[in-house]
Amino acid sequence: MKFKRQESHATHPNVVPLIDVIMCLIIFFMLVARIGVSSGEDASIKIPYAALGREIKSLDNTLLVNVKEVNGRAEVTSQIDSSNGKGRETLVLEGGGNGRRLVDVLKRLRWGDDLRAGESRPSGRDNPDLKLIIRGDSDMNFGTLQQVLLAAAEANVTSLNFQTTQKAPKG
């Protein structure tokens, strides 16, 4: 009895398992890339309720600051690009303590390294489109928020927004 040998398909390798592996890798990297994105929001801040509002679609060219009152003093924090180029770092922006002053950070983002109006930025112009989003705690005094507004005015930031929620408070 003679057995016939089946022809091999060695000239056409099966690529279906390769496609499955590549699809799994693509999904994995998409999920990991989204997890690593942070805007610097402080989860301990209770955002105030507002009946009207508008959703901001793009956060390009935007600085988000968290403002809350701690022991009667304003605590302003934000996540800004670090000067050493090693990613992003969270800084305390109010004067005193270890951090830089809020007005100095806003002036540097608005006017460039020379902190004056003029064409000193590497892109060839100042940054008049700088946007500031304030995440203020709903329980803080207006005097605390006033310091942030004065710093924005001194740095000539013209686009200012307050983050609110449309969920009505319970009770």
In 10 A of CB 53, how many CB atoms? 13
At residue 22, the pLDDT reads 93
Q: 132 CB contacts (<8 Å, ≥6 apart)?
A: 62, 63, 65, 106, 152, 157, 159, 160, 161
At residue 20, the pLDDT reads 92
At residue 24, the pLDDT reads 93
- What is the domain partition of the chain in residue ranges? 62-162
Strands (E), the chain: 62-70, 73-81, 88-92, 131-136, 159-162
Rounding to the nearest 10 degrees, give the CA dihedral for residues 162, 120, 102, 37. Answer: 60
Looking at residue 94, its amino acid is: E
With vertex at residue 53, the alpha carbon angle to CA 51 and CA 55, rounded to the nearest 5 degrees, is 140
At residue 92, the pLDDT reads 59
At residue 86, the pLDDT reads 41
Crossing angle between the packed helical segments 102-111 and 142-154, to the nearest 10 degrees? 30
pLDDT (tens, 9 = 90+) of the chain, 171 residues, equals 667 766 665 677 788 889 999 999 999 988 887 665 566 677 778 888 888 878 877 778 888 888 888 887 777 877 776 554 444 455 555 555 666 778 888 888 888 777 677 665 555 467 888 899 888 888 888 888 888 898 889 888 988 888 888 776 665
Strand-pair partners of 74: 69
